[in-house]
Amino acid sequence: MAERKVLNKYYPPDFDPSKIPKLKREKNRQQKVRLMSPFSMRCNTCGQWIGKGTKFNARKETVEGEKFYSILIYRFYIRCTRCNAEITFKTDPGNIGYVCEQGAQRNFEPWRDEEEQVEEERKKKEEEEENNPMRALENRTEESRREMEILDALDEIQTKNALQARVDVDSAIEHVAEKRVRLEELKKKAEDEEIERLVKNAFSTVDGERVKRVRKNVDGDSDVDYDNGDDERDEEERLAKVRQKKLFAGSFGKQEGGFGKSPSSSTLGKQKEKFLDIRVKPKATAQPNPTETNTKVKNKSADPPPPETSSGDNNLLGSLVGGYSSGSDSE
């Protein structure tokens, strides 16, 4: 039994579609379509009311010579349901609707009210400007401000589009690399500031006074310097050290020339120990703050009083000679 609705058709082996002639259709021929009336209308012949949404078998064609920009305009042909009179209407892309051409009259056109309202507002505005010059000036100022805002917005959009157009993979990678370098520089700067802060805390007191660490001489002696700006005390310390060296050298020269014997190692050690124990006591005004004791090195033994004048030097020479004689006797 054959199918009522044939889905597949038989093509013989000798079928050649190129031999079938092409149909020549008219360029602007009418097409039969099924549609519903897009608006309510009244027939001009019999006065029959045709409601919106009534179904019709219509003919459609393209309107020649009319376009809304690049949009084609179509015309439709229907017949009245009562008198069978022909009614035509066409599309209106400008108002997003339809326009009734002949055979009927549209009951309501929404864009007409909008056009009338716009026209009334325009006339009212012109009358106000004629009667009130200040109002006209305000309107012109408002229009100028609105134009400037529109131009600024347009310029901003163009700039943003230009930036987006210039962005590529290489520039994005370069931007990321520059950002990483800036972060590293900021990190290094923060570390340097932290180190500087720690150094400042280590070499300064709570009051902001700077201090120096222990400085050792060549012979193993250690001196504690207080960087408090006391130049006179520093000069006294330097002169005392020079005086010690001269006395030490002179005493050994006399011993070698007068007796012809070199002092023993034990004697030299005692003499050196005596000289090493000599310190210059700082003035009372230059005493360090008790809070600075953790940053200054304490001497192993208490500081003796500062060396006196020539009488102190004579006593020192006497002790040296006594030590030398005791050493020679022991030998």
Segment 123-133, tens digit of pLDDT: 888 888 888 88
Cβ atoms within 10 Å of 152's Cβ, excluding its own? 10
Annotated binding site: 43, 46, 80, 83
Domain shared by 293 and 271, yes or no: yes
- Residue 288 phi/psi, 5° resolution? -70, 155
For 249, the domain range is 215-330
pLDDT on residue 57: 95
Cα 80 to Cα 260: distance, rounded to the nearest angstrom: 157
Confidence of residue 208 (pLDDT cuts 50, 70, 90): low
Give residue 317's pLDDT.
54
% of the chain exceeding 90 in pLDDT: 31
Is residue 225 predicted with pLDDT exceeding 60? no
Closest Cα to residue 41, out of 31, 25, 52? 52
Mean pLDDT of 132-150: 88
* Domain match, 237 and 310 both: yes
Q: Please give the distance of CA 104 from its chain centroid, rounded to a whole number.
A: 68
Among residues 162, 177, 192, the one where a domain terminates is 162
Residues 92 and 127 in one domain: no
Question: Are residue 94 and residue 140 in the same domain, yes or no?
Answer: no
Q: What value does the mean pLDDT take over residues 100-112?
A: 83
> Is residue 281 a contact partner of residue 305, using CB atoms and an 8 Å limit?
yes
Q: How buried is 176 (Cβ within 10 angstroms: 0-12 exposed, 13-18 middle, 19+ buried)?
A: exposed
pLDDT value at residue 322:
54
Residues 277 and 244 placed together within one structural domain of the fold: yes
> Do 222 and 316 share a domain, yes or no?
yes
Answer whether residue 238 shows pLDDT above 60.
Answer: yes
322 inside domain: yes
Q: Report how many helices (DSSP H) and strands (DSSP E) the chain contains, helices first.
A: 6, 10
Residue pair 283/233 in contact by the 8 Å Cβ criterion: yes
- Looking at per-residue pLDDT, the higher value among 250 and 24 belongs to 24
96 & 138 share domain: no
Domain boundary among 41, 73, 108: 108
**Domain match, 240 and 319 both:** yes
CB atoms within 10 A of CB 76: 21
Task: Give the predicted TM-score (pTM) of the model.
Answer: 0.35
Do 244 and 299 fall within a single domain? yes
pLDDT given at position 6: 81
The answer to the question of residue 198 being in a domain is no
Q: Are 83 and 43 in contact (CB under 8 A)?
A: yes
Residue 266 in this model has a pLDDT that exceeds 80: no
For residue range 186-196, list pLDDT tens digits in order: 999 999 998 88
If one counts the domains in the chain, the total is 3
- What's the pLDDT score for residue 224? 47
- How deeply is 85 buried, as exposed, middle or buried, from its count of CB atoms within 10 A (0-12, 13-18, 19+)? middle
The whole-number average pLDDT for the span 71-77 is 95
Same domain, 219 and 323: yes
Residue 212 confidence class, pLDDT cut points 50, 70, 90: low
Tokens matching residue 196: 């500087």
Among candidate residues 317, 225, 223, the one with its CA nearest the CA of residue 279: 223
Pair (273, 299) in one structural domain: yes
Residue range 145-162: average pLDDT?
Answer: 91
Q: Is the confidence at residue 105, as pLDDT, over 60?
A: yes
Binding site, annotated residues for Zn(2+): 43, 46, 80, 83
Residue 185 has φ and ψ, to the nearest 5°, of: -65, -45
Kindly state the percentage of the chain with pLDDT values over 70.
Answer: 63
pLDDT band at 293 (very low <50, low <70, confident <90, very high): very low
222 and 262 fall within a common domain: yes
In a domain, 199, yes or no: no
Nearest of 41, 85, 37, 29 to residue 57 by alpha carbon: 37
Task: Tell me the pLDDT band of 316, cut-offs 50, 70 and 90.
Answer: low
User: Does 185 reside within a domain?
Assistant: no
Q: Regarding predicted confidence, which is higher, 99 or 275?
A: 99
Q: Mean pLDDT throughout 19-48?
A: 89
Q: What is the pLDDT of residue 219?
A: 52
